[in-house]
A and B are shown apart, each in its own frame.
Chain A
Amino acid sequence: MSTPELKAQGAVPAAETGISHAPRRTSGVVMALSQLALGLAILLMWQGASGRLVDNFFISNPIDVAARLYHWTADGSIFMHIVATVYATAMGFIIGSVGGALLGVWLGVSPFASRLLSPYLNALNALPKVALAPLFVLWFGLGIESKIALAAVLVLFLVFLNTFAGVREVDQDLIDGARLMRATRAQVILKVIIPSAMSWVFTGLKIAMPYALIGAVLGEMIAANRGLGYLVQFSGSQFDTAGVFAVLFVIALLAVALNYAVDAMQGRIERWRIVSR
Chain B
Amino acid sequence: MIRIENLSKSFYKGNTAVDAVRDMNLAIARHEIVAVIGPSGCGKSTLLNMIAGLYTPTRGRIVYKNAPVSDVNTDVGYMTQKDNLLPWRSVRDNVAFPLELAGVAKVERSRRADEVIRHVGLQGFEERYPNELSGGMRKRACLGRMLLYGAETVLLDEPFAALDAQLKLAMHDLMLRLVGENRQTVVLVTHDLMEAVTLADRVLVCTRRPATIALEQRIDLARPRDVLNVRFTNAFKEHYDALWDRLRLEYQEDRV
Contact = CB atoms under 8 A, between A and B. Distances in A.
Contacts of B86: 174, 191-192, 195-196
Interface string B211-243: 000000000000000000000000000000000
Interface of A: 171, 173-174, 176-184, 187, 191-192, 195-196, 198, 270, 272-273, 275-276
Given A180-B78, A182-B98, A192-B86, 11 more contacts: A173-B80, A173-B82, A176-B72, A176-B78, A179-B74, A180-B52, A180-B72, A184-B101, A195-B86, A272-B90, A276-B131
Interface of B: 52, 54, 72-74, 76-78, 80, 82, 84, 86-90, 97-98, 100-102, 129, 131-132, 149
**Which label, helix, strand, loop or mixed, suits the secondary structure of the A interface?**
helix
B80 A177 contact: yes
A177 B101 contact: no
B52 A191 contact: no
Contact of A276 (B76, B101, B129): B129
10 shortest interchain CB distances as A-B pairs: A272-B129, A177-B84, A181-B98, A276-B132, A182-B74, A173-B84, A179-B72, A272-B88, A276-B131, A183-B101
Nearest to B97: A181
B129 A275 contact: yes
B95 to A, nearest CB: 12
Nearest to A180: B78
B149 A270 contact: no
A192 B89 CA distance: 10
B76 A180 contact: yes
Contacts of A178: 97, 101
Given A198-B88, A272-B88, A180 B131 contact: no
A196 B90 CA distance: 14
Nearest to A184: B101
Contact of A270 (B74, B88, B97, B100): B88
B149 A181 contact: yes
6 contacts: A171-B84, A176-B54, A180-B74, A195-B86, A195-B88, A272-B89
A171 B101 CA distance: 19
Given A187-B101, A272-B131, A276-B131, A196 B88 contact: yes
A275 B89 CA distance: 12
A269 B86 CA distance: 15
A117 B149 CA distance: 40
Contacts of B76: 180
B102 A182 contact: yes
Residue among A173, A191, A272 with most chain B CB within 10 A: A272
Contacts of A179: 72, 74
Residue among B84, B98, B102, B132 with most chain A CB within 10 A: B84
Contacts of A177: 78, 80, 84
A14 to B, nearest CB: 20
Nearest to B145: A181
Contact of B74 (A174, A181, A191, A195): A181
Nearest to A187: B101
Given A178-B101, A182-B98, A272 B87 contact: yes
Contacts of A183: 101
Nearest to B149: A181
A273 B87 CA distance: 8
A248 B136 CA distance: 56
A107 B78 CA distance: 29
A198 B89 CA distance: 13
A182 B101 CA distance: 7
Contacts of B72: 176, 179-180
A178 B102 CA distance: 11
Contacts of A198: 88
A182 B86 CA distance: 16
Given A272-B87, A276-B129, A276-B132, A191 B80 contact: no
A164 B234 CA distance: 59
Nearest to A277: B131
A179 B82 CA distance: 17
A180 B73 contact: yes
Contacts of A174: 84, 86
A276 B125 CA distance: 13
Nearest to A176: B54
B121 to A, nearest CB: 21
Nearest to B100: A191
A183 B102 CA distance: 8
Contacts of A196: 86, 88
Residue among B89, B90, B97, B102 with most chain A CB within 10 A: B97
Residue among B80, B101, B102, B149 with most chain A CB within 10 A: B101
A90 B54 CA distance: 44
Nearest to B131: A276
Nearest to B71: A179
